[in-house]
Amino acid sequence: MNPNHKPIFEPFTLPSGVRLKNRVFMAPMTNSSSHPDGSASEQEIAYYRARAGGVGAVVTGSSHVLPDGKAFVNELGADHDALIPGLRRLSAAIRQQGAKAILQLFHAGRMAPPALIEGKQPISASGVAAERPDSAVPREMTEDEIEATIQAFGDATRRAIEAGFDGVEIHGANTFLIQQFFSPHSNRRADRWGGSLEARMAFPLAVVERVKQTVAGHAHAPFIVGYRVSPEEREEPGIAMADTLRLVEALADRGLDYVHVSVRGFWEGSMRDEADTRSRVLLIQEQAGHRVPVIGVGGFSSAEDVTEALDAGVAFISLAHAIIMEPNWVEKVQNGQAREIRTTLPRTAQRELVLPDPLWNMLLGVPGWFPVE
């Protein structure tokens, strides 16, 4: 191994006491490869197994906590107990390769296509449609629905524990329901769940508290609880960086294991102000990295990219495109084979890369998404 890459392989003990063998996560990515009932398919399990040998932890693609919270065709489910056996097979496949298994939990809110939720009107913090073509106008959630959804995150956490996962990641990013409550664009409520910044944080923090209560009541070993956040929104009104820094401070107060920053590029500046070129990830690291570990993501390909980001101060990085194209990314760096890491997606490599059919079709079907050759 190149000595310059040693920071990648330093172990790290999270606040919960879970010890990770290195500083690399597999990022959560939608693969649309579960069965229609939300159970993990054999192709999906094989896909994760093939990428779990080197990374310290694998975060699954988003799994819905309620049937009306789906965003993608054939996404993973965590909304009822009948799914536990499939989740157990998935967690075992990851853990047997040496990585920690983390189940990402979410509700799509207003981003749920009616076709995926039996033609129903999607729900959200308020009846405000997303600023995207053909977006449905959601129905504002009632107090009872809010409380039931908070409990659904707790119930899904219990299922993750029973299925043998090492942790859960609360998906508070990428325009889904938790972010919708935090956003002044999608949350126009005048009750205790909206209005001021503190009130807009109430739902995300209530989910965190319910998840942590569930862990305290059901887990018999240290259990990871992380949170994913999108730092800003383009909409007006929308989430600004100052809002997110306040949220991150509140998350740090709750003793989370990490904050996972969802951005397109690790080094990219503001999407709201072109003159502000400071890295959103590093602003969060500077604000709260001494209190809660920060995971950075975005544009990593080479070992040098990853080492540079770690040297900038974050505790971890997560690989997305890179680990789809190179399942053995970590192993190759560790074995001194960094120059052999694949950086393109050959059209003939589906079986070699252990990519499920639905994901493979998506990768080839979206022009410019991956460097296909």
pLDDT tens digits, 49-101 = 999 999 999 999 999 999 999 999 999 999 999 999 999 999 999 999 999 99
Domain 8-365: CATH superfamily is: Aldolase class I (3.20.20.70)
Pairing of strands 12-13, 19-20: antiparallel
Q: Residue 1's pLDDT band (boundaries 50, 70, 90)?
A: confident
pLDDT tens digits for range 305-334 = 999 999 999 999 999 999 999 999 999 999
Mean pLDDT of 94-117: 98
In 3-state terms the chain splits into helix, strand, coil percentages (rounded to 5) of: 40, 15, 50
DSSP 308-362: HHHHTT-SEEEESHHHHH-TTHHHHHHTT-GGG---SB-TT-HHHHT--HHHHHH
Identify the burial level of 231 via C-beta atoms within 10 angstroms of its C-beta, where 0-12 means exposed, 13-18 middle and 19 or more buried. buried
**Tell me, what's the pLDDT at 12?**
98
Question: CA dihedral defined by 175, 176, 178, 180, rounded to 10 degrees?
Answer: 50
Q: 319 with 301: CB under 8 angstroms? A: no
Q: What is the pLDDT of residue 78?
A: 98
Question: For the chain, what's the residue count?
Answer: 373
| pLDDT over threshold 90, residue 272 | yes
Beta-carbon count within 10 A of 81 CB:
12
How many Å apart are CA 32 and CA 357, to the nearest integer? 9
CA-to-CA separations, 115 to 75, 151, 196, 267, in angstroms, rounded: 14, 25, 34, 37
Give domain limits for the chain. Answer: 8-365
Handedness of CA 205, 318, 296, 223 (dihedral sign): positive
Angle of CA points 145, 146, 149, to nearest 5°? 85
What's the rounded Cα separation, in Å, for the pair 200 and 89? 37
**What region does 164 belong to: left with phi over 0, alpha with psi -120 to 50, or beta?**
left
Residues 130 and 86: beta-carbon distance below 8 Å: no
Is the pLDDT at 295 greater than 90? The verdict is yes
Residue 122: the pLDDT is 98
Above 90 in pLDDT, residue 150?
A: yes
The per-residue pLDDT of the chain, averaged, comes to 97
Helices (H), the chain: 42-49, 84-95, 143-162, 177-182, 197-200, 202-218, 241-253, 280-288, 303-311, 321-325, 329-334, 350-353, 357-365
Instruction: Give me the phi and psi of 46, to 5 degrees please.
Output: -65, -35
Reported pTM: 0.98
Please name the residue ranges forming H helices in 10-73: 42-49
Residues 180-200 have pLDDT tens digits of 999 999 999 999 999 999 999
Q: How many CB atoms lie within 10 A of CB 335?
A: 12
Residue 54 phi/psi, 5° resolution? -110, -40
DSSP structure class, residue 235? S
User: Is the pLDDT score of 228 beyond 90?
Assistant: yes
